[in-house]
Structure 1
Amino acid sequence: MSFTDLFIGILFLFLILVAALILMQREAVKREKTETQTMAEQIRQLQAKLDKAPKPQPDLPAFRLGIVFNIYQRSADFDGGGWTYSRTVRVFRSPDGHCINTVWMRSNLSTAWKPPTASEDIPTDAQQDLFRTFEPCGISASGDHWESGSETGNMKRITPILYGGYAVLHKKEGDEKLEMQYRVLGIYDDYFRGHASAAQHG
């Protein structure tokens, strides 16, 4: 066998090897493309299922802002004097019907008469459970009422934006009766809209 024949044989084998590699590469690219398209289709189908699935509702806070109002007061034996601003109150309500009243702004005159809080009424570290107990809402869409060691009160809803009534302050000098008004600034919970809606549509 001559060197030329040997060289041609080696070249022929080399060309066959190159052709085989090219075919293998094309097959690999084709297979990879098919797998990519299949995966993309699976992702699309999965996303479609996720889009149709009901979305979980976000957790709501235990208490949500329900109503905000200014409190005005004047002596019950009205002698011609005007209303005096007492405080601005925000009421936060929970779904189970409990309320937390927080004072946003306050006139110094509204607390000057209040007796100091007794030491036994202040929870200690061993009474942490007291911080987690709440009273049912006193205020509603139709009125408000409360009773404590320092005052007793009762209010009725007069208009969608006004409550009116009286409070009795239990001072050490004796009880004092005050005429009071809640002037509503905003309502954010349907629980407090009942009377307002009836008044507007009645």
Structure 2
Amino acid sequence: MRGRSRRGAGAGEAADDGPFASFTDLFIGILFLFLILVAALMLMHQEAIRREQVETQLMSRRIRDLQARLDAVPKPPPPPEPQAPAFRLGIVFNIYQRPAGSDVEWTYSRTVRIFRSPDGHCINTVLVRSNLSTAWRPPTSEEDIPTPEQQDLIRKVDACGISASGDHWETPSETGVMKRVRPDLYSGIAVLHKKEGDVRLEMEYRVLGVFDPHFR
């Protein structure tokens, strides 16, 4: 009886060892597959990094090639720097006049703008002219009126007679001398050369604005 019981016990232990061994093998197999998967992922990651480095190097080469081509293309010349205008507004004033030696009220003649160029030439433009102006000009003959073909006459510009200290002019119809007595006033005498004789006028420039340091 005792021998039988011992044999029965040994058979039970052998039957219990079978399932335990297969579970261990299964666990080892899963672990082995996991390690293979991790190794494969690491290899794939390294391959991806290598490809990215290769693509980066190729892109850098392309960029250098494109930059070299751009540098080889002739560049357009820079745009010309803006030049200062040939003439700029210098001074604006009202002209008043009256017969020389009289005490009559001053008569408004005209408002004049003086445009000055950097090389010292001036252009006078009349902004407003009074109908009561006593200024006189002889009639202009037809041959003295410049035609489009007479470009030299049209482009002729006289040197500035007016400055910060005074003004002077001499034409076939009129001569005059002015002195700057105040920052806002020029005073002097003008002589009109009329057919019936010269006429002397007292004249004033009443300054409205100074825009060029040359006239300050």
TM over 0.5: yes
Aligned counterparts of 2:189 and 2:181: Cα–Cα separation in 1: 13
* 2:150 paired residue number: 127
1:21-41 superposed Cα distances (whole Å, 9 cap, x missing partner): 7853565368759998xx9xx
Q: Residues 27 and 111 (structure 1 numbering): CA distance in 2 closer, same or farther, change over 3 Å?
A: farther
Aligned counterparts of 1:111 and 1:159: Cα–Cα separation in 2: 24
Matched, 1:140 2:163: yes
In structure 2, the residue corresponding to 1:144 is in which secondary structure? strand
Matched, 1:58 2:82: yes
Radius of gyration: which is bigger?
2
* 2:72 paired residue number: none
In structure 1, the residue corresponding to 2:172 is in which secondary structure? coil
Deviation at 1:170, TM superposition (A): 1.7
In structure 1, the residue corresponding to 2:149 is in which secondary structure? helix
Q: Which amino acid aligns with 1:95?
A: P
Q: Which amino acid aligns with 2:116?
A: R
1:127-175 superposed Cα distances (whole Å, 9 cap, x missing partner): 1111222111010111101111221111011011110001111223322
Which of structure 1's runs of 4+ aligned residues deviate more than 4 A? Answer: 16-23, 29-36
* 1:76 paired residue number: 100
Q: How does 1:1-202 map to 2 (within 5 A)?
A: 23-25=50-52, 27-28=54-55, 32=59, 58-78=82-102, 80-110=103-133, 113-193=136-216
**TM-score, structure 2 as length reference:** 0.64
Aligned counterparts of 2:128 and 2:112: Cα–Cα separation in 1: 7
Aligned counterparts of 1:168 and 1:184: Cα–Cα separation in 2: 21
Gaps of 5+ in 1: 1-15, 40-55, 194-202
Q: Residues 81 and 111 (structure 1 numbering): CA distance in 2 closer, same or farther, change over 3 Å?
A: closer
1:42-84 superposed Cα distances (whole Å, 9 cap, x missing partner): xxxxxxxxxxxxxx85300111111111110111131x32111
Q: Which amino acid aligns with 2:100?
A: A
In structure 1, the residue corresponding to 2:150 is in which secondary structure? helix
Aligned counterparts of 1:173 and 1:30: Cα–Cα separation in 2: 98
In structure 2, the residue corresponding to 1:108 is in which secondary structure? coil
- Percent same amino acid among aligned pairs? 64
Aligned counterparts of 1:185 and 1:20: Cα–Cα separation in 2: 84
Contact 2:107 2:133 in 1 (8 A): no
Gaps of 5+ in 2: 1-42, 67-79
Corresponding pairs, count:
161
